[in-house]
């Protein structure tokens, strides 16, 4: 009888321990799904988005010729070393991956562009610089250089742009003192006409350990047909949860 009681007690204790372990595993899994990696070697510290209007090839003609109008959106991601990470680490690559236009604009056609100039304007909106595919990778290097798709292996900037290439042509006159998004209003194009949404992953690869987050952005970032242009700076990136890729 006593042996049976002892066996039942042992079974009950084992069951309770199993339940506790399962509960702890669920809590850890849930916490990870919410918080992700809390001590990565590098982190996404800032996102800057500039939205305005330029002409195709960035060449503006004011002598009566038509200009192909592009509504452009340049996006810059700052990858910074995590000061709380005590080990040595380097960036092997940063990839903007699985790029999708999840909501198309009512007017125009969205194209993805890679950086191509060291001048103040990092993007030229011509067919020569349209990204083929849905992935853009920056390799870790001794210094950052967007024109060669390189990022400093201790942190730097990666950039990509989305341009609406199908909005039509516009003839500039002497009265067009400012070349910006208000031109769209003159072309009878509204902010609602050009709104679109993109979705993509950002993958930070540090010596074989890959950390990934997913984000959705709505572009342009303001009513540029009225405001002309906009610059949005996102410094609270905590909602973009990075998780270890298997």
Backbone angles phi, psi at 111, to 5 degrees: -120, 150
Instruction: List the pLDDT tens digit at each of the 246 positions of the chain.
Output: 566 666 666 677 776 777 666 666 666 555 555 555 667 899 999 999 999 888 776 666 556 667 788 899 999 999 999 888 878 889 999 999 999 999 999 999 999 999 886 555 678 888 888 998 899 999 999 998 888 899 999 999 999 999 998 888 877 766 655 677 888 888 899 999 999 999 999 999 998 789 999 999 999 988 888 888 888 999 999 889 898 876
170 in Cβ contact with 183 (< 8 Å): yes
Average pLDDT score, the chain: 83
Report which of 154, 157, 136, 135 is spatially closest to residue 146, judged by C-alpha positions: 157
Return the pLDDT at 92. 95
Query: Distance (Å, rounded) from C-alpha 234 to C-alpha 203?
Result: 18
Return the pLDDT at 217. 96
pTM for the model? 0.83
Return the pLDDT at 193. 95
Return the pLDDT at 160. 95
Return the pLDDT at 163. 94
Return the pLDDT at 119. 58
Tokens encoding 92 = 């092997």
């Amino acid at each position: 009888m006593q042996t049976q009681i002892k066996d039942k007690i042992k079974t009950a204790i084992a069951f309770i321990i199993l339940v506790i372990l399962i509960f702890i595993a669920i809590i850890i899994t849930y916490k990870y799904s919410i918080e992700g990696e809390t001590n990565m070697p590098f982190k996404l510290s800032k996102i800057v988005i500039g939205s305005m209007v330029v002409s195709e090839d960035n060449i503006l003609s004011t002598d009566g010729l038509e200009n192909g109008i592009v509504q452009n959106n340049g996006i810059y991601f700052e990858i910074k070393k995590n000061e709380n990470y005590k080990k040595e680490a380097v960036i092997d690559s940063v990839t903007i991956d699985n790029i999708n236009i999840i909501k198309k604009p009512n007017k125009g056609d969205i194209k993805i562009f890679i950086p191509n100039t060291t001048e103040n304007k990092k993007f030229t909106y011509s067919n020569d610089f349209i990204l083929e595919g849905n992935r853009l990778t920056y390799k870790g290097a001794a210094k950052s250089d967007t024109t060669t798709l390189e990022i400093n292996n201790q942190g730097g900037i990666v950039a990509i742009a989305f341009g609406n290439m199908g909005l039509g042509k516009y003839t500039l006159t002497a009265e067009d003192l400012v070349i910006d998004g208000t031109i769209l209003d003159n072309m009878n194009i509204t902010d609602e006409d050009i709104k679109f949404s993109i979705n993509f992953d950002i993958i930070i690869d540090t010596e074989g350990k890959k950390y990934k987050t997913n984000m959705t952005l709505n572009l342009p970032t303001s009513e540029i047909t009225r405001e002309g242009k906009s610059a949005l700076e996102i410094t609270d990136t905590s909602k973009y949860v990075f998780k270890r890729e298997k």
